[in-house]
């Protein structure tokens, strides 16, 4: 059973998945950020691989990507950083046990070599992939098999504009979870969240095989709660990156931010 499945078997409400950008804020802060997220209560981590042209991302994540690239972040560097991230701290590793999915755009992965990428991801202990610009057709004809061969989950996105039929198809191709984009937007847009409720209810009624996590526009306790109402949890990206960018202390900033999301008033 995959680490992501295990997580949802254990806990299937109010899952908190937090996005961070590899190589941000410092080139070698990737593990520190991930550790801080785990210690502060993140159930799952979405680790972004920076790209020069992140089409689906808004200004905050774009900025973190461009800083990470300036810092010298590359996929090879990332796999070096991740080499011992699953090993216990006592044995000299980073001791990160929560599931981790890599999020990124296809081009840098193609240059690295798609199969080599999947093999390396599997070897270091990555659990799944989110590649927003990999569409169904390419997944079915070329890439899906390679991903499966390396025991990685693959997460497709659905939006309020996606038809029920297509949602079912994307669900059937996904494993781990399904990523429900809260509104048709790039990341970090604070569109009115309330309007998403109907769509999230619809998702809940479709009897999908995967758990559903909601992302885009989740930024505080209120939006987190709203997102969790009809789904299994939510993904927070831009709001966390913003919190990181306003602080020089990764641990403190992370703790404070996650507390603000998770603590009951």
Partner 1 sequence: MDHKVSYQRPNEQGYYGRFGGAFIPEMLHPNVKELQERYLDIMYDAAFQKEYTELLRDYVGRPTPLYFAKRLSAQYNTNIYLKREDLCHTGAHKVNNTVGQILLAQRLGKKRIIAETGAGQHGVATATVCALKGMECIVYMGEKDIERQAPNVARMKMLGATVIPATSGSKTLKDATNEAIRDWINNPTDTHYIIGSVVGPHPYPDMVARFQSIISEETRWQLKTKTGSELPDYVMACVGGGSNAAGAFYNFLDEPTVKIVAVEAGGMGIESGMSAATTRLGKPGILHGSKSLVMQTEDGQVVEPHSISAGLDYPGIGPLHAHLFDSGRGTFLHATDDEALEAAFQLAKLEGIIPALESSHALSALKQIQFKQNEVVVVCLSGRGDKDLATYMKAMGVHSNEVTG
| Interface stretch with partner 1, choices 16-24, 27-35, 48-56, 240-248 (CB under 8 A) | 48-56
**Closer to partner 1 by Cβ: residue 90 or 137:** 137
Q: How far is the CB of 53 from partner 1 (least distance, A)?
A: 5
**Residue 186: CB minimum distance to partner 1, A:** 5
C-alpha–C-alpha distance, residues 209 and 175, integer Å: 9
Q: Which range, of 27-35, 128-136, 224-232, 257-265, touches partner 1 by CB under 8 A?
A: 128-136
Selected binder of partner 1 within 7, 20, 60, 75 (CB under 8 A):
75
CB 103 within 8 A of CB 19: yes
Of these, 132, 211, 217, 233, which contacts partner 1 (CB under 8 A)?
A: 132
Q: Do residues 13 and 214 make contact, with C-beta atoms less than 8 angstroms apart?
A: no
Q: Are 176 and 155 in contact (CB under 8 A)?
A: yes
With the C-alpha atoms ordered 88, 92, 98, 102, is the resulting torsion angle positive or negative?
negative
Q: Is the Cβ of residue 105 or residue 224 nearer to partner 1 in the bound state?
A: 105
Q: Which positions from 167 through 186 interact with partner 1, judged by CB under 8 A?
A: 170, 181, 184-186
Kindly tell me the sign of the dihedral angle through the C-alpha atoms of 117, 121, 123, 128: negative
Question: How crowded is the C-beta side of 96, counted as CA atoms within 13 Å?
Answer: 29
* Residue 66 is a binding residue for partner 1 (CB under 8 A): yes
Among 134, 203, 227, 250, binds partner 1 (CB under 8 A): 134
Of 9, 12, 97, 107, the one binding partner 1 (CB under 8 A) is 107
Q: How far apart are CA 147 and CA 166, in angstroms?
A: 21
| Rg, C-alpha atoms of the chain | 17
Number of residues lying near partner 1 (CB under 8 A)? 40
220-to-44, 59, 101, 107, 159 alpha-carbon distances in Å? 17, 19, 22, 33, 21
Q: Is 245 in the site for partner 1 (CB under 8 A)?
A: no
Show the binding pattern over residues 137-166: x = contacts partner 1 (CB under 8 A), - = does not. Answer: xx-----------------xxxx-xx---x
Judged by CB under 8 A, the residue of 9, 12, 52, 151 near partner 1 is 52
Beta bridge partners of 158: 180
Q: Which residues are identified as catalytic?
A: 46, 57
Please state the separation of Cα 72 from the chain's center in Å.
Answer: 22
Using the Cα atoms of residue 166, residue 171, residue 174 and residue 178 in order, give the sign of their dihedral: positive
Which residues here bind partner 1, judged by CB under 8 A? 51-53, 55-56, 58-59, 62, 66, 69, 74-76, 105-112, 132-135, 137-138, 156-159, 161-162, 166, 170, 181, 184-186, 189
């Amino acid at each position: 059973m995959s680490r992501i499945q295990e997580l949802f078997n254990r806990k299937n409400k109010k899952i908190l998945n937090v996005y961070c950008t590899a190589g941000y804020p410092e080139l070698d802060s990737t593990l520190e950020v991930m550790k801080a997220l785990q210690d502060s209560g993140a159930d799952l981590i979405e680790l972004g691989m920076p790209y020069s042209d992140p089409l689906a991302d808004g200004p905050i994540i774009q900025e973190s990507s461009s800083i990470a690239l300036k810092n010298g972040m590359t996929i090879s560097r990332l796999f070096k950083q991740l080499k011992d991230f699953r090993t216990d701290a006592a044995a000299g590793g980073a001791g990160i046990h929560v599931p981790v999915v890599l999020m990124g755009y296809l081009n840098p992965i193609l240059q690295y070599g798609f199969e080599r990428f999947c093999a390396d991801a599997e070897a270091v202990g990555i659990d799944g992939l989110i590649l927003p610009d990999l569409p169904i057709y390419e997944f079915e004809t070329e890439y899906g098999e390679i991903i499966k061969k390396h025991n990685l989950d693959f997460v497709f996105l659905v939006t309020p504009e996606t038809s029920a039929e297509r949602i079912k198809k994307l669900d059937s191709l996904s494993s781990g979870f399904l990523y429900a984009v809260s509104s048709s937007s790039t990341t970090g847009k604070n569109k009115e969240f309330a309007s998403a409720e109907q769509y999230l209810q619809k998702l809940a009624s479709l009897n999908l095989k995967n758990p559903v996590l909601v992302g885009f526009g989740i930024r505080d306790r209120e939006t987190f709660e709203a997102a969790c109402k009809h789904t299994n949890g939510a993904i927070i990206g831009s709001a966390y990156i913003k919190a990181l960018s306003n602080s020089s202390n990764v641990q403190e900033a992370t703790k404070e931010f996650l507390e603000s999301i998770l603590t009951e008033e």
